[in-house]
Amino acid sequence: MVVVGPCTIHDPVAGLEYAQRLRSLADEVSSTLFLVMRVFLEKSLTTTGWKGYINDPDLNESFDITKGLKKARTFLRDVNKLGLPMATEAVSPLLQQYYGDLITWTIFGVHSIESQIHREIASGLATPVAFKNGIDGKLESAINAIRATRQGHRFVTIDNHGHPCVVHTQGNHHGHLVLRGGKGSPNYDPVNVRNAEQALRAAGLPENIVVDCSHANSYGRPELQEAVLANVTNQIQKGNRSLVGVMLESNLLVGRQPIPSNRRQLTYGCSITDPCIDWKTTETVIREAAQSLRTVLKNRRNSALPQRLPPT
Q: Model-level pTM?
A: 0.94
Q: What is the mean pLDDT of residues 12-31?
A: 98
Q: Where are the beta strands (DSSP E) in 78-208?
A: 86-89, 105-108, 129-132, 154-158, 164-168, 175-179
Rg of the chain, C-alpha, whole Å = 19
pLDDT value, residue 177: 98
The average pLDDT across 240-246 equals 97
> Beta strand pairing status for 164-168 and 154-158?
antiparallel
Q: Model confidence at 45, in pLDDT bands (50, 70, 90)?
A: confident
Residue 312: per-residue pLDDT: 41
* pLDDT value of position 46: 64
Helix (H) or strand (E) holding 226: helix 225-237
DSSP 150: T
Q: Report the alpha-carbon angle 79-128-16, nearest 5.
A: 15
Q: What mean pLDDT is reported for the chain?
A: 94
Domains of the chain (ranges, CATH numbers): 2-176+247-299 (3.20.20.70)
